[in-house]
C-alpha cells in the first residue's frame, strides 16, 4: 500500500508535507492511550499567578518509528519513501506523543505541570514558578525533546490554551473563538449541514 502525498498551506507562506493515511488508519488497531480532558489539565490551576506553555518543535517528528515503517510508505513523483519518524495523519500519533510526554514528565504531571501533547506550567509564586520551569526544561532536555521557541510563552499572568484563556481568575473562552462563532454566517441551505 502506497499513500498519496501533498503539500498543504500552513500559515505565512509555509507548507506542511502531508500524506493521506486514510487507508492505513482504516486497518490500524486503535491505541486506547488516553488524552487528558480540559478538566484534568486545568483542575488545580486556581490561584496560580504564573503560566507557561511549552510547544515541542514538530512534536510528532521527534519520535522515532521503531516498528512497521513499511506501513508509512508514500510516493512523490515516481519515487517511494517511508517515514523514520512519526508524522501528521496517522491515527495513533496523538496517543504516542502523549505517552512519550507523560513518561518524560511523569513525576511532575499534576503537581508542577500538565501535559496535553504540549505542556502547561503553573505556579502561585515567582520562586516556585522558576523552579518548576527549570525542572520541566531539564527533563525535556534529558529526553532530547526540543521546543519551538516562537511558540512557547513563559511567566505570563494568562495564556491561551486549547481555545481557552487560563489565568489566576479562572478559565475563559478565547475571545477569538467566541468571535468566530458569533460571526459565522447564518445558513442559507440546510443541505450544507446534513451529514450523509
Give the predicted TM-score (pTM) of the model.
0.76
pLDDT for the residue numbered 109: 86
pLDDT digits (tens, 9 = 90+) for 80-108: 888 888 777 788 888 888 888 899 999 88
Task: Count the Cβ atoms, other than its own, within 10 Å of residue 74.
Answer: 22
At 24 the three-state DSSP class reads helix
Q: Which residues of the chain have pLDDT under 50?
A: none
pLDDT for the residue numbered 127: 93
What's the N-to-C CA distance of the chain in angstroms? 28
CB 106 within 8 A of CB 114: no
Amino acid at each position: 500500500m502506497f499513500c498519496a502525498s501533498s503539500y498543504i498551506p500552513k500559515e505565512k507562506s509555509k507548507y506542511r508535507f502531508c500524506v493521506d493515511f486514510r487507508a492505513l488508519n482504516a486497518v490500524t488497531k486503535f491505541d486506547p492511550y488516553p488524552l487528558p480532558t480540559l478538566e484534568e489539565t486545568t483542575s488545580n490551576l486556581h490561584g496560580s499567578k504564573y503560566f507557561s506553555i511549552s510547544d515541542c518543535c514538530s512534536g510528532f517528528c521527534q519520535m522515532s518509528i521503531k516498528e512497521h515503517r513499511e506501513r508509512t510508505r508514500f510516493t512523490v513523483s515516481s519515487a517511494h519513501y517511508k517515514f523514520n519518524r512519526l508524522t501528521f495523519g496517522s491515527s495513533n500519533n496523538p496517543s504516542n506523543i502523549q505517552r512519550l510526554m507523560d513518561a518524560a514528565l511523569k513525576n511532575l504531571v499534576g503537581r508542577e505541570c500538565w501535559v496535553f501533547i504540549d505542556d502547561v506550567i503553573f505556579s502561585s509564586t515567582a520562586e516556585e514558578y522558576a523552579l518548576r520551569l527549570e525542572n520541566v526544561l531539564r527533563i525535556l532536555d534529558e529526553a532530547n525533546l526540543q521546543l519551538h521557541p516562537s511558540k512557547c510563552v513563559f511567566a505570563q499572568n494568562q495564556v491561551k490554551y486549547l481555545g481557552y484563556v487560563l489565568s489566576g481568575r479562572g478559565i475563559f473562552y478565547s475571545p477569538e473563538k467566541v468571535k468566530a462563532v458569533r460571526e459565522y454566517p447564518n445558513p442559507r441551505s440546510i443541505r450544507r449541514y446534513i451529514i450523509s
